[in-house]
Amino acid sequence: DVKPEEYGWTLNALCGLEEAGESIPCEETFSDEMLVMAGLSDAQSDRLLAALRLCLQPNIALKAVLTPANRRWTAAYLYQELCMEHAALRAGKGARG
């Protein structure tokens, strides 16, 4: 679990891959759960997502994998990006009927 005072930390820090250092000030609150996977192989990620869908937490809509491109993002920034992506996907599905 990530505490609100940690929302300004980088994903690397939240995943324990670097010291947290200073947090970027963040007024954001999250209304949805978010899952960030780090250090898993593709097969492990697939198994984790399948298990979540089947029995544990099928309602976690916001999911990401830690990558070189996003590792310096804050939790708050990732949340905004995932919300926009999720909204775009929902809009696309609705447009197709």
pLDDT at 56: 62
DSSP for 11-67?
Answer: HHHHTTSS---SPPP-----SS-EEEE-S--HHHHHHHHHHHHHTS-TT--EEEE--
- pLDDT of 80 over the 50 cut: yes
Q: How far is CA 81 from the centre of its chain?
A: 9
pLDDT tens digits for range 32-55: 888 899 999 999 999 988 888 887
Q: What is the pTM of this model?
A: 0.78
- pLDDT at residue 72 is higher than 90: yes
24, pLDDT greater than 90: no
